[in-house]
Chains A and B, each alone.
Chain A
Amino acid sequence: MKVQAMAHFSAFSLLRNALTGHKHWPAQWPDALPKAEYDVIIVGAGGHGLAAAYYLAKEHGITNVAVIEKGWLGGGNTGRNTTIVRSNYLYDESARLYDHAIDLWDGLSQDLNYNVMFSQRGVMMLAHTVHDVQSFQRHIHSNRLNGVDNTWVTPQQAKEICPPLNISTDARYPVLGAAWQQRAGTARHDAVAWGYARAAAARGVDIVQNCPVTAIRRGPDGAVEGVETAKGFIKAKKVAVSAAGHTSVIMETAGVRLPLESFPLQALVSEPVKPIFPCVVMSNTVHAYISQSDKGELVIGSGTDQYTSYSQRGGLPLIEHTVAAICEMFPVFRRMRMLRKWGGIVDVTPDRSAILGKTPVQGLYVNCGWGTGGFKVTPGAGHTLAHTIARDDPHPINAPFTLERFTTGRLIDEAAAAAVAH
């Protein structure tokens, strides 16, 4: 196994570098040029692809791996998302997968020797209508049966947890209660991508940036032979596509059509202010969610734009709608200035559950369909994707998330269950 020297981060190394003016930190990972052949190629250096490469090396001893990225690593949805991490999904299959991810989040900073700033500050989902109350309580019961923590709180309790919340009864959509998941929270998105990249590179994985994959090449027997890229053909018997909003475009070149549509999802941040917002609050009915980053910015988002697009922009009407919802729930923020907004392209499946597993093509694997909510599952998706690639057989946790379910009808219908929430 080729292992590159990697500076170990510790209080001591921080102190030593502080004393020398932080001028001697080494590069965290080398920018690799592609070799002619790898055992495994992963298309897309988002959190998921990088995590898969890391676990391939760490848990399966497969280190002759390249992660090929068209832009810069973490520059897709991983670096654009609002970082909510929770696991209170309705169905058994989802509960197992997202909770597996939370278990991995728990020790991730130590495992990677990289502070991913996982903060279990709690996520609150507000109920504003009788329907919300019933559906959230159903979620809570189902979560408890699955051993996933989630509790019902009254409006007064919600206000105690989150003082800026408006619980007055004359609000347009008064708060009738909320589902509260204490283990949930946020993490630093860039650090997740960088931490996995650094740890994977240290175990010998090549990370090739600025290199779009233009097609997947298949041999006469139909099996995967490698990928065509802007830097030439690269051979590999196993290729995994983990390219979020662009997955269907790439898979089409291998003759695999996916039940995916790509939509812009936007977010925005305010100017930074002192700590005022202690947790994450989301509302499906008023349609917005909010948290405060450790830098002090309010981080705000809502649902996707209505039309499919690859433009990574999205329209202003949606931002206006989102900000109106935030002002309704938190009148205290009415005079807050917003700093910037952006969009990412999210890949949405008909049942709002991911597709993670094998494909009809020998040697071709896919991880996609995470839509508006796949950051939270980054460690879990990477971990189970690595298992699927290494063994050519899915891990029991991702086994239900097949492509075949759209033929058999055995859907994992979080679409009806989760509405817009991330």
Chain B
Amino acid sequence: MLLIHCPYCEATLPELEFTYAGEAHIARPADPSTMSDEQWRDFLFIRTNARGPHFERWRHAHGCGRFFNAVRDTVSDKFLLTYKAGEPKPESLPE
């Protein structure tokens, strides 16, 4: 079972309390009417699907209920980092 650190509750809790919410840092288009079909495709459907560190969103559904961001290594499933929603994408990752 994954153990996940909620940055709001400041507690490390079992996976069962959380729901996964897909890749993080995908910004909604600021000016939708100017977007080409290719840009819509990229926004709606294309994901990095990283093999290794992956930036993703989780929600502490059975706790504080809030969304936050995490970096997880998708090969080992180990969480490298979690941080609050709205905080910038971290530039360096812990070992």
- Asked if A311 and B75 sit within 8 Å, CB to CB, the answer is yes
What string of 1s and 0s marks CB contacts (under 8 Å) between A295-337 and chain B? 0000000000011111101011100000000000000000000
Number of A-B contacts (CB under 8 A): 60
* Nearest residue, chain B, Cβ from A262: B49
Q: How far is the CA of A315 from the CA of B75 in the complex (A)?
A: 14
Q: How far is the CA of A44 from the CA of B25 in the complex (A)?
A: 32
Which B19-47 residues sit within 8 Å CB-CB of chain A? 19-20, 37-38, 40-42, 44-47
A248, A260, A310, A350, most chain B CB atoms within 10 A: A310
Tell me the smallest distance from the CB of B72 to a CB of chain A, in Å. 7
Of the four ranges (under 10, 10 to 19, 20 to 34, 35 or more), the interface on chain B belongs to 20 to 34
User: In this assembly, does A420 line the interface, its C-beta being within 8 Å of a C-beta of chain B?
Assistant: no
Known: A309-B74, A309-B77, A350-B44. A315 touches B1 (CB 8 A): yes
Known: A308-B56, A315-B1. A260 touches B41 (CB 8 A): no
User: In this assembly, does B76 line the interface, its C-beta being within 8 Å of a C-beta of chain A?
Assistant: yes
Q: How far is the CA of A315 from the CA of B1 in the complex (A)?
A: 5
Known: A406-B41, A407-B37, A407-B38. A311 touches B46 (CB 8 A): no
Tell me the smallest distance from the CB of B61 to a CB of chain A, in Å. 11
Tell me the smallest distance from the CB of A386 to a CB of chain B, in Å. 27
Of the four ranges (under 10, 10 to 19, 20 to 34, 35 or more), the interface on chain A belongs to 20 to 34
Known: A249-B51, A317-B1. A259 touches B15 (CB 8 A): no
Q: How far is the CA of A249 from the CA of B74 in the complex (A)?
A: 13
- Asked if A308 and B74 sit within 8 Å, CB to CB, the answer is yes
User: In this assembly, does A258 line the interface, its C-beta being within 8 Å of a C-beta of chain B?
Assistant: yes
* Nearest residue, chain A, Cβ from B77: A311
B75: A residues at CB distance < 8 A: 309-311
A260: B residues at CB distance < 8 A: 47, 49
Tell me the smallest distance from the CB of A359 to a CB of chain B, in Å. 14
- Asked if A261 and B1 sit within 8 Å, CB to CB, the answer is no
Which B36-95 residues sit within 8 Å CB-CB of chain A? 37-38, 40-42, 44-47, 49, 51, 54, 56, 72, 74-77
- Asked if B74 and A317 sit within 8 Å, CB to CB, the answer is no
Q: How far is the CA of A258 from the CA of B46 in the complex (A)?
A: 6
Known: A260-B49, A261-B49, A317-B15. A307 touches B20 (CB 8 A): yes
What string of 1s and 0s marks CB contacts (under 8 Å) between A405-418 and chain B? 01111000000000
Q: Which of A248, A306, A308, A406 contacts B54 (CB 8 A)?
A: A308
Tell me the smallest distance from the CB of B50 to a CB of chain A, in Å. 8
Q: How far is the CA of A306 from the CA of B15 in the complex (A)?
A: 10
- Asked if B49 and A248 sit within 8 Å, CB to CB, the answer is yes
User: In this assembly, does A257 line the interface, its C-beta being within 8 Å of a C-beta of chain B?
Assistant: yes
User: In this assembly, does B16 line the interface, its C-beta being within 8 Å of a C-beta of chain A?
Assistant: yes
What string of 1s and 0s marks CB contacts (under 8 Å) between A254-291 and chain B? 00011111100000000000000000000000000000
* Nearest residue, chain A, Cβ from B47: A261
B15: A residues at CB distance < 8 A: 315, 317
B16: A residues at CB distance < 8 A: 317
Q: How far is the CA of A78 from the CA of B47 in the complex (A)?
A: 25
- Asked if B77 and A313 sit within 8 Å, CB to CB, the answer is yes
Q: How far is the CA of A151 from the CA of B16 in the complex (A)?
A: 38
B16, B47, B76, most chain A CB atoms within 10 A: B47
* Nearest residue, chain A, Cβ from B50: A308
- Asked if A311 and B45 sit within 8 Å, CB to CB, the answer is no
User: In this assembly, does B9 line the interface, its C-beta being within 8 Å of a C-beta of chain A?
Assistant: no
* Nearest residue, chain A, Cβ from B36: A407
Q: Which of B41, B42, B74 contacts A311 (CB 8 A)?
A: B74
Q: How far is the CA of A309 from the CA of B19 in the complex (A)?
A: 15
Q: How far is the CA of A323 from the CA of B56 in the complex (A)?
A: 29
* Nearest residue, chain B, Cβ from A306: B20
Known: A307-B56, A406-B41. A315 touches B46 (CB 8 A): no
- Asked if B51 and A310 sit within 8 Å, CB to CB, the answer is yes
- Asked if B54 and A311 sit within 8 Å, CB to CB, the answer is no
Tell me the smallest distance from the CB of B6 to a CB of chain A, in Å. 16
Please name 16 further chain A to chain B contacts, defined as beta carbons within 8 Å, in addition to the given A258-B49, A311-B75, sorted by A numbering.
A307-B20, A307-B56, A307-B77, A309-B74, A309-B77, A310-B51, A311-B77, A313-B77, A315-B15, A317-B1, A317-B16, A350-B44, A406-B44, A406-B45, A407-B40, A407-B41
6 contacts between A and B (CB under 8 A): A259-B46, A307-B2, A307-B56, A309-B77, A313-B77, A407-B37
